Amino acid sequence: MRLSLKDPQFSGLLWQVVVVGLAIALIAWLWSNALHNLSVRRISTGFGFLGREAGMPIADTWLPYSPKDTYLWAFVVGIVNTLRVATIGIVLATVLGTMIGIARLSSNWLLSRLSAVYVEVLRDIPLLLQLLFWYVLMQGFPPARGAWKPIEGVFLSNRGLVLPAIPIGSGQLWALGSAVLGFAAFYMLRRRLIALQMRDGRARRIWLYGLMLIIGPPALVSWWLGVSWTVTLPELRGFNFVGGWTLAPEYFALLIALVTYTSAFIAEIVRSGIQSVAKGQWDAALALGLRRSFVLQHIVMPQALRVIIPPMTSQYLNLTKNSSLAVAIGYQDIVSVANTTLNQTGQAIEAIALIMVVFLTISLSISMFMNWYNARIALTER
Amino acid sequence: MAVATEVPQAPRPTARSPSSWGARQPILRWLRTNLFSSISSTIITMLLLALLIKLLISFVQWGFLDAVWTVPGNDTGACRAVRGVGACWAVIPEKYRFILFGTYPFDQQWRPAAATLVFICLFVLTSLRAMWRRELVLVWAIALALIGLLMWGGVPGLPFVSQERWGGLPVTLILATFGLAFGFPLGIIVALGRRSKLPAIRSLCVLYVELIRGVPLISLLFMASVMFPLFMPDGFNIDKLLRAQIAVVLYAGAYLAEVIRGGLQAVPRGQHEAADSIGLSYWQKQRLIVLPQAIRHVIPPLVNTFIAFFKDTSLVLIIGIFDLLTTAKTAIIDPAWQAFSVEVYVFVALIYFAFCFAMSRYSRQLETQDKAGK
């Protein structure tokens, strides 16, 4: 066999060898430079630094943390901070975005126009600018003494948002756990009841069982263990609040910015999803005498979801990645912790590798979950 | 807009009772069908109107009636007096040169202004359908060279200005436009690579795209600002702006590759087969047959991607590059004006909004034209 460049197989192989060779050479060159530079700067590579004392303060945490803890624990705290802004942000942005997306299609002219303005304004201004804006606005709020009190027990001041809270102890956790179990049981029962209804056409009172299963177990457990569900209202003492649940201004600003910005994109996705459902579906359902809200919920939305879910996944990923803007206002998420670590230890490669690993893991998890959900609601054709 | 027509409206009450109020008056009829068609719709309208009027009143009070438009010199006493009640727009005439052009030498600031104008002309030219031909590449090359000449100078009449002194709007435009100009060819190559039959090349491209898209832009920028010097040989270093530009190009390349891949998938198989059958080589086939069709398909999403970049360039604030947002934030470090950041942010937001809104309108217009053409 003669080797010739005209032969597609041979030229293909040649291309691959050349490109991969170049890539490997580039990486090797960069790596050798890095090793040399690190040795000149006397920075030891590796993740040994994770065991050392971090010495960085983290103000707003859910996990117990003190600057005496290790870098590893600081990273864990940072990851939890990222997750808590991302998960709550995703839930709120989905709710708000869906509402605005539906409002844009409202037959009420004023409502649909205002929703369009909301979407257009929020989409066309950089998120970082919006974030800085909210943060500055929040710093301009009155101090704790003159806090705004929209309703009893809720305070809005430059210390952030303070809400009434229920102290969670082990008793409450048991009760909540039983509620989760009850919910799982309800979910299974619901599937069973729907299957029964499909068979004989008789409607069953799903929600009655639901209420019993979701409220019943925690009520029983609370009674059994004598758990009290008292709400503690925050109080102003001296210059700060005591009791209640505080959302620090950094967290609050980041959450508002992420939720409003992402909800504008979600609204557009929901709108185009609903519009993608054929008009005949509406006509047929309305001709049967069903109410518009029922048609939207039970006939149009299930079909629209098939169009909505894939782009929604990328919005969730964007929200998670955008939560890293926290570093600009001093909310200590994973990127901020890694950045401080990098400045303190000089372990640039390790710190940035950790950021990447964390975000790739989160991205992959969200993608996997959404793909599973997408497969579940996908059209089952005969 | 097409929005209202796609979803069936509630039945029109006027059709039922022609004698009911407003049936003959077009305005009243419009009001009735669009704002007061049912009890719930009426309630929503009333609530929204109340909210809107309240917001408008407080905004007009803050932004116009109680606002301070000018102050003598640097004396912000008048502004402090209305703080929390009215806006202090006096900060804008005081600081706009710094916000727009950063620390560029003051007497030379007509040059970044001219460069901005060249950018805008370039965008407008590119948006014209008649310009979508090969010669456009030449126009871009000339325009970008002209911008470089204006910004750097170094020829008689234009003293040299180092890029460390650049700032403001031109830097934002440079980061976004050069990011697109270099990210676009990169994106095309990666998109072709991702659809290639050669496994090694395909997996390299997948790795690149997924790695970049999986992490936040900030971590890429950190890499550019902190890690880049580590990976270079001793004594070799390049400017921070250029490093950030490289990060933006790599980032843009990955996202553009995905958009272009969508376009490649939309080109029918027959086109490939026809090109093969007349004996075109791989590159000839892509260049002459496949890519022109693929890119035409994805022009609206390309514009949307560009809007996203334009906004995302503001992230360079975090690594301390003086783009429009950074100059705005720096302008209000001045203790005299520190309290009036909201006004400055509103000003900058308007600039960003003007660019993004124009582009998003344009992209929507293209989509409707495409739909009409089909």
Q: What confidence tens digit (pLDDT) does each residue in A341-355 have?
A: 888 887 888 888 889
Q: For B356, which of A20, A124, A274 is closest by C-beta distance?
A: A124
What confidence score (pLDDT) does residue A285 get?
92
Instruction: Chunk chain B into consecutive blocks of 10 residues (it has 374) and report each block's average pLDDT, rounded to whole numbers.
Output: 43 47 73 84 90 92 83 76 80 87 88 93 89 86 92 85 87 92 93 89 90 89 84 79 92 92 89 91 89 86 88 91 91 83 91 93 85 71
Q: For B37, which of A12, A30, A107 is closest by C-beta distance?
A: A107
Query: Chain A within 8 Å of B201 (Cβ-Cβ)?
Result: yes
| Whether residues B32 and B170 fall in one domain | no
| Whether residues B356 and B295 fall in one domain | yes
Domain assignment present for residue A236? The answer is no
Tell me the sheet residues that pair with A148.
Answer: A156
Angle (nearest 5°) at CA B3 between B1 and B5: 95
At A367, list the tokens. 């993608």
Query: Within 10 A of A320 (CB to CB), how many other CB atoms are there?
Result: 23
Domain assignment present for residue B184? The answer is yes
Domain assignment present for residue A40? The answer is no
CA distance B185 to chain A (A): 17
Q: For B230, which of A37, A283, A360 is closest by C-beta distance?
A: A37
Domain assignment present for residue B347? The answer is yes
What confidence score (pLDDT) does residue B13 get?
46
Domain assignment present for residue B338? The answer is yes
Query: Chain B within 8 Å of A25 (Cβ-Cβ)?
Result: no
Listed residues B48, B67, B86: the one ending a domain: B67
- With beta carbons under 8 A apart, name residues in chain A contacting B342: 133, 136-137, 140
| Whether residues A317 and A297 fall in one domain | yes
A 117-156 residues inside an 8 A Cβ radius of B? 120-121, 123-130, 132-133, 136-137, 140
| Whether residues B103 and B242 fall in one domain | yes
Residue ranges of chain A with pLDDT lower than 70?
A: 1-6, 379-382
Which residue range is the domain that position A208 belongs to? 168-229
CA distance B153 to chain A (A): 31
| Whether residues A356 and A211 fall in one domain | no
Domain assignment present for residue B141? The answer is yes
Nearest chain A residue to B201 by CA: give it: A16
| Whether residues B231 and B319 fall in one domain | yes
* Count of CB pairs separated by less than 8 Å, A with B: 175
Domain assignment present for residue B230? The answer is yes
- With beta carbons under 8 A apart, name residues in chain A contacting B353: 121, 124-125
CA dist B167 and B104 (Å) reads 7
Query: Chain A within 8 Å of B225 (Cβ-Cβ)?
Result: no
Domain assignment present for residue A6? The answer is no
**B317–A328 C-beta distance less than 8 A:** yes
| Whether residues A219 and A319 fall in one domain | no
| Whether residues B238 and B323 fall in one domain | yes
| Whether residues B47 and B177 fall in one domain | no
A245-247 sheet: strands from edge to edge: A155-157, A160-163, A245-247
DSSP per residue over B226-270, as a string? IIHHHHSPTT----HHHHHHHHHHHHHHHHHHHHHHHHHHHS-HH
Q: For B214, which of A31, A325, A359 is closest by C-beta distance?
A: A359
3-state secondary structure of B161: coil
- With beta carbons under 8 A apart, name residues in chain B contacting A264: none
| Whether residues A172 and A307 fall in one domain | no
Domain assignment present for residue B16? The answer is no
- With beta carbons under 8 A apart, name residues in chain B contacting A339: 222
Query: Chain A within 8 Å of B34 (Cβ-Cβ)?
Result: yes
Q: For B226, which of A120, A327, A348 is closest by C-beta distance?
A: A348
Which residue range is the domain that position B107 belongs to? 95-373
| Whether residues A280 and A142 fall in one domain | yes
| Whether residues A260 and A363 fall in one domain | yes
| Whether residues A378 and A271 fall in one domain | yes
What confidence score (pLDDT) does residue A39 get?
81
| Whether residues B153 and B221 fall in one domain | yes
Domain assignment present for residue A102? The answer is yes
| Whether residues B31 and B151 fall in one domain | no
B 137-196 residues inside an 8 A Cβ radius of A? none
CA distance A309 to chain B (A): 18
Q: For A129, which of B201, B218, B345 is closest by C-beta distance?
A: B345
**A132–B230 C-beta distance less than 8 A:** no
CA dist A327 and A216 (Å) reads 44
How many structural domains comprise chain B?
A: 2
| Whether residues A262 and A175 fall in one domain | no
| Whether residues A256 and A342 fall in one domain | yes
Q: Which amino acid is at B289?
A: I
Q: For A111, which of B48, B311, B318 is closest by C-beta distance?
A: B48
| Whether residues A98 and A172 fall in one domain | no
How many structural domains comprise chain A?
A: 2
- Closest by CA to B348, choosing from A120, A132, A114, is A132
| Whether residues A203 and A269 fall in one domain | no
| Whether residues B151 and B265 fall in one domain | yes
Domain assignment present for residue A160? The answer is yes
Query: Chain B within 8 Å of A336 (Cβ-Cβ)?
Result: no
Interface test with A, best of B34, B190, B219 (most A CBs within 10 A): B219
Residues B311/B175, Cβ–Cβ less than 8 Å: no
Domain assignment present for residue A334? The answer is yes
- With beta carbons under 8 A apart, name residues in chain A contacting B86: none
B21-42: per-residue pLDDT in tens?
Answer: 555 688 888 888 888 888 888 8
For residue B134, the domain's CATH number is 1.10.3720.10
Phi, psi for B8 (deg, rounded to 5): -60, 140
| Whether residues B134 and B193 fall in one domain | yes
Nearest chain B residue to A5 by CA: give it: B281
**A16–B200 C-beta distance less than 8 A:** yes
**A364–B219 C-beta distance less than 8 A:** no
CA distance A239 to chain B (A): 22
Domain assignment present for residue B301? The answer is yes
Q: For B230, which of A38, A114, A133 is closest by C-beta distance?
A: A38
Angle (nearest 5°) at CA A8 between A11 and B283: 80
B 279-338 residues inside an 8 A Cβ radius of A? 307, 311-312, 314-315, 317-318, 325, 329
**A322–B226 C-beta distance less than 8 A:** no
| Whether residues B255 and B149 fall in one domain | yes
- With beta carbons under 8 A apart, name residues in chain B contacting A137: 342
Residues B81/B101, Cβ–Cβ less than 8 Å: no
Domain assignment present for residue A307? The answer is yes
Q: For A15, which of B198, B219, B311 is closest by C-beta distance?
A: B198
Domain assignment present for residue A153? The answer is yes
The CA–CA distances, whole Å, from A265 to A146, A373, B257 equal: 36, 20, 21
Pure H helices in chain A: 8-40, 71-104, 109-123, 127-139, 170-200, 206-225, 249-276, 279-287, 292-295, 301-322, 334-345, 348-377
For residue A336, the domain's CATH number is 1.10.3720.10
Tell me the sheet residues that pair with A242.
Answer: A235
| Whether residues A220 and A360 fall in one domain | no
**A114–B8 C-beta distance less than 8 A:** no
| Whether residues B251 and B127 fall in one domain | yes
